[in-house]
Each structure stands twice: as structure tokens, then as C-alpha cells.
Amino acid sequence: MAERNIDFDKITDRRNTNCLKYDFAVKRGMPEDVLPLWVADMDFQTSSYVQDALIKQAQHGIFGYSDGQESYFEAVKGWLKKHHDWEVQEKWLVKTPGVVMALALSVKAYTDPGDAVLIQSPVYYPFSEVISDNGRKIVSSDLFLGEDNRYHIDYADFEKKIAEEEVKLFFLCNPHNPVGRVWTKEELETIGDICCRHHVIVVSDEIHADFVFQGKHHVFANLKKEYAEWTITCTSPGKTFNLAGLQTSNIFIPNQKLKNAFKKQLAAAGYSQLNAAGLVACEAAYRDGEEWYQAMKKYVAGNIAFTKEFVEKNLPGVNMVEHEGTYLIWLDFNGLGLCTQELEDLIVHKAKLWLDSGRIFGKCGRGFQRINVACPRSTLKEALERIAKVLPADTVKFAS
């Protein structure tokens, strides 16, 4: 059987399918006719092997309580070993209906109300939400944009915040969403050693690990034995194979005490078995989806290169931050000299685009927009052309 779903130029109409990306513009306060490139799912059909596995399950017709058998774990284990050289053990695994839930469970399991949890803004906005919603204190050691057009970690500030705020838990985004960094071994070990010195538990969100276009993804827990003992590693096929709606994530916790505390919070939330379809899709994807994954990744890499060239040639005053990982590009509009509301008006009402405003990722995201390029090239081209058409006529290149 050959892979069928590798024509990524194909437009698949997602409207009227209860699609969050396309069908909820008005409910989310957007004009009805916006072109959406916001939420992090892809406009590509998943691997035909996954489709076939789900069709087979649907034809069986019974969707009762389910769990993963040995073949499920072997598929997950095989993928992580092949792509990230990480040998996982089944006794480390806890399955959850998504990484965000795992973040929330970690907050409850490893901190008390009022405790400080560290993040690195600008960062995926649910990080902040699950901290504040659970009555904990958000502490950010902000990343900074260097002269090399990449974001970097202020290590002195990172350790200072941990010590002064008595931080108990750190949310690591690796690769980083939205700034597109693929952290190096040296960077990860520097912050890892700081966390080790201060006894800080690390939750490493590695959901974008399969989207590395520059550098190499390093599984944080795999760098040093002592890291593995206090790290919760969050993985999922959701981004890689466009399965987010099937709500299946694989969380690895080698430390039995930490795992027990995590599972206690999972039970307290009233959750047990995963979505039956999600289990089937995850196993099929990791077992049979390699051809689709490689073709998709190559196509997305082409979209990233296309965006970079288009921005440089056609969007004066806009800077595309150097992109290393994820399919979410971070665009800097600060060179236009617009206030936050003016930029929102430009993007939403003039260009008729639904992107993710930088302000939702933290104060240091002001003036930025996150754009999802996991879509057919024609869709991406139209979106970028819409921006080009509405830029102020007197725009000059970003110079400061």
C-alpha cells in the first residue's frame, strides 16, 4: 500500500466541518471573511495510513473504553528512538488528552497555591494560563532578540529569578513556540544545571520536536541522567501528523515519585482512558507514517523559505525572525511604527487575516504576529500578498 496524501498543494476545504480554524471567526470576534493562519494545526490531510486505520475502526462500529496495547508503546518507542535517539521505557509513560492538560496537572502535582512557576516569554500562551488559573505565580525570564536575529536566554536573569522567586517548577518550550528556536545542547545544559542547583522540576514541552529545520533537537531529559530524574517530557503526534483533535499525548516521567504525583492529579481530574480513535491514530502514524512525514516536512521547509524571501523582498519594515523549528513563524512588525491597535487593524481589518497576535504570548510579544505556514503554498502566498497590499506607503526598512 502506498502513501496517498502527499500532494500538499491540494486545497482541502475545511469550512463547515466544525473546524476551529475556519468556522469560528465571528464567534471569536473576527470578520467572517478572514483568511485564518493562526491556530497550530495543518491544512494538510494526515497520512493515508492513519485514515485507513481510523476507517477500519469506524467500520467495526464499537467505540468502547480502550487503551494502548504493547504495539502502541512499541510504535511510540520506535519513533522516539529513530528520530531523537531516545530510549524510553513503558514504565515512564502516562497518556493524557493533550500536552496542555499535562502542563496543568504538573502545576497541581508539583507546586502549591502561591508558588512561582518560571516561563520564558514570549511563549505559548497556555503556559501562563495554566499557572494563573491554578493560583500560582507566573515568573518570566524573558528571551531577548540578538543581533543574529535569533532569540537567546539571559542565563543570569534566569538563575536570579529562580533564586529570588523561589521557583519550584519551570516550563521549557523545546523547540520554542513562537520564536522558532531549536535550543542547542549547550543552551539546554546551562539552564538544566541551573535548575539542578536550585532543585527546580522541569516540564519540557517537546511537541514540536519533529519540526527542526536548522540544528538538532535534543531531548532535554536525555542530556544528563540527573535531568531525567526531575523532568516531565511531553510528546504527542498531534502536531507531527495533524491529529490534535484526537487528543492523544505521551508523557514520560522516569522518577516514580513524580510520576505517582502526576497520576494522582490525573485521577483527581476524573480522567482515565484516552480517546479510542486517538490511540489508533497515534499507533498508525508512528508505525507507518514516515513517508508522509518526510514529504510534509520538506514541503513546510519550502514554505518557510518562501516566506523568508517574500518578507525580505516585499514587506519593508517587517522582519522575519530567523527560523529553526516549528511550522509557526514569528514576524516582527515593530519597524512599521504602529501601536498595538493599529497593527491589529492592519492585519485583521485591512489585510483580512487571522493570525496570532504577539501580545497573547507576553508583553515582549508586542508588535509581533505568529503565522502558521503549514498550509498549501497558494494559501500562504495569498496571505503574504494581503499584507504587502496594505502596508503603509511610507514604510521604511526596520533600522533600530
- Indicate the pLDDT class of residue 396, thresholds 50, 70 and 90: very low
- CA distances, 222 to each of 75, 192, 317 (Å): 19, 11, 41
Residue with cell 500536552: 99
Last residue of some domain: 254, 288, 322? 288
Instruction: Supply the CATH number for residue 127's domain.
Output: 3.40.640.10
Co-location of 84 and 24 in the same domain = no
Q: Residue 122, preceding bond cis, omega within 30 degrees?
A: yes
End of a domain among 247, 269, 288?
A: 288
pLDDT value at residue 96: 97
Tell me, yes or no, whether 196 and 282 share the same domain.
yes
Same domain? For 103 and 138 the reply is yes
Domain boundary among 233, 260, 288: 288
Instruction: Quote the DSSP letter at residue 138.
Output: E
Q: Would 361 be classed as within a structural domain?
A: yes
Look at residue 295 and tell me whether its pLDDT is greater than 80: yes
Instruction: Say if 53 falls within a structural domain.
Output: no
Range of the domain at 364: 20-47+290-390
300 with 385, same domain: the answer is yes
What residues pair up with 250 in beta bridges, in sequence order? Answer: 95, 235
How many helical (H) and strand (E) elements, i.e. helices and strands, does the chain have?
13, 15
Mean predicted confidence (pLDDT) in 304-333: 98
The SS3 call for residue 170 is strand
Residue 19 burial (10 A CB sphere; 0-12, 13-18, 19+): middle
Are the beta carbons of 308 and 332 closer than 8 angstroms? no
**398 domain-assigned:** no
In a domain, 55, yes or no: no
126-144 pLDDT tens trace: 999 999 999 999 999 999 9
CA separation for the pair 276, 250 (Å, rounded):
14
Q: Are residues 238 and 129 in the same domain?
A: yes
Q: 346 and 238 in one domain?
A: no
| Residues contacting residue 352 through CB under 8 Å, at least 6 positions apart | 31, 33, 34, 35, 386
Confidence of residue 392 (pLDDT cuts 50, 70, 90): confident
pLDDT band at 398 (very low <50, low <70, confident <90, very high): very low
Residue 186 lies in a domain: yes
- Is-contact 284 49, C-beta < 8 A? yes
d(CA 268, CA 36): 37
Q: Give domain status of residue 29, yes or no.
A: yes
Question: In 3-state terms, what secondary structure has residue 21?
Answer: helix
Are 198 and 298 within one domain? Answer: no
Predicted confidence at residue 399, as pLDDT, reads 34
Q: Confidence band (pLDDT; 50, 70, 90) for 179?
A: very high
> What is the rounded average pLDDT of the residues 50-68?
96
In degrees rounded to 5, what are phi and psi of residue 145? -85, 115
335 and 253 both lie in a single domain: no
**C-alpha distance across the termini of the chain, in Å:** 55
Residue 314 pLDDT exceeds 60: yes
Q: Is residue 145 part of a domain?
A: yes
Task: Tell me how far CA of residue 160 lies from CA of 157, 275, 343, in angstroms.
Answer: 5, 42, 34
Number of structural domains (the chain) is 2
pLDDT of residue 1: 78
Residue 228 has pLDDT above 50, yes or no: yes
Residues 232 and 201 sit within 8 Å (Cβ to Cβ): yes
Span 42-56, pLDDT tens digits: 999 999 999 999 999
- Is residue 268 domain-shared with residue 128, that is, in the same domain? yes
Evaluate whether 184 touches 132 at the Cβ level (below 8 Å). Answer: no
Cβ-contact 158, 400 below 8 angstroms: no
Q: Specify if 337 maps to a domain.
A: yes
pLDDT at 309: 98
Domain containing residue 350: CATH number: 3.90.1150.10
pLDDT band at 394 (very low <50, low <70, confident <90, very high): low
**99 & 243 share domain:** yes
How far apart CA 376 and CA 44 sit, in angstroms, is 8
- Residue 115: pLDDT band (50, 70, 90) is very high
Mean pLDDT of the chain: 96
**Whether residues 43 and 165 fall in one domain:** no
pLDDT value for 65: 94
Q: Is the pLDDT of residue 353 over 50?
A: yes
CA-to-CA separations, 370 to 93, 113, 214, 381, in angstroms, rounded: 32, 32, 19, 16
The rounded percent of the chain whose pLDDT value lies above 70 is 98
Question: Do 135 and 246 reside in the same domain of the chain?
Answer: yes
